[in-house]
Amino acid sequence: MKKLFFLLVMLTNGMLIYAQSPWEKDFTKPEATEIDEPKPKIVTPGTNGAPPSDAIVLFNGENLDSWIMSKDNSSCRWTLKDGSMTIKSGAGDIQTRQKFGDCQLHLEFKIPVNAKNSANRNNAGNSGVFLQERYEVQIFNSYQNETPLYANGQMGSIYKQVIPMANAASKTGEWNTFDIYYTQPQFRSNGTVEKPAYVTLVHNGVLVLNHFEIQGSIEYIGIPYYKPHGKAAIRLQEHGSEISFRNIWIREL
């Protein structure tokens, strides 16, 4: 039923825009290249770090209601304190209740000061933002490259798929921002990928990934590959390090 509606909208829209074939137009007139409709929707921008008017707020410092534990869908057991949400070591990953497709995601995070001296390399500020539960934008202490790690595992990488164009990491103890522009993959009826996922990442105001073609689900061992899926949650990884998060919002595109 939904599909029927969708295609009828396409139909109407198609007739609107393609009422005239491009080769039948008179391109000596400026009107030939003017498109009146649809007017873009009005979005009131946020001021002073507030989210735009059409954003879904996922965390604003007051409660953890938008999040659940990934392993069993129970209530989020990470720590809420001083307006931030902090990983509880051993508690496991969390994810949004809501599922998303194409989106603009904003979040802020802080790696604890002691992370940089950790004897355990995996504790050196290790976390990650899993888009649609499977494509990881890596969080790791990479400030001044003080924690040696392979370059495609640094903060701002798509883990084991690409080296970010710049290392714009904040010091441990200071806040980072991620602004993520994400396009979900599309699948054929036989389960193969028709169009891969893409991600653009602006880290602390610095472009570090520009329309990167995601190569499949993140794999610690082995070759990334795609499995078909629909809309899915934003997942935050718990990997032993007590990273804090704040000001998380998302816009559906």
Neighbours of 11 (CB within 10 A): 10
Residue with tokens 């735009």: 52
Q: Please, what is the minimum distance in Å from the beta carbon of residue 253 to its own copies?
A: 7
3-state SS assignment for residue 230: coil
User: CA 164 to CA 54: how far, in whole Å?
Assistant: 29
| Nearest approach, Cβ of residue 200 and its own copies (Å) | 6
Give dist(CA 136, CA 147) in Å, integer.
Answer: 19
Tokens (6 digits) for 85: 């949400």
Query: Considering beta carbons, is residue 7 or 113 the nearer one to its own copies?
Result: 7
Closer residue to its own copies (CB): 62 or 211: 211
CB of 75 to its own copies, least distance (A): 27
118/200 with CB nearer its own copies: 200
Instruction: Please say whether the beta carbons of 217 and 226 come within 8 A.
Output: yes
Q: How far is the CB of 172 from its own copies (least distance, A)?
A: 15
Within 13 A of 103's CA, how many CA atoms are on the CB side?
24
Nearest distance, CB of residue 121 and its own copies, angstroms: 13
Nearer to its own copies by Cβ, of 25 and 97: the residue is 25
DSSP secondary structure code for residue 55 in this structure: P
Decide whether 76 or 209 has the Cβ nearer to its own copies: 209
Of 252, 212, 211, which is closest to residue 234 (Cα–Cα)? Answer: 252
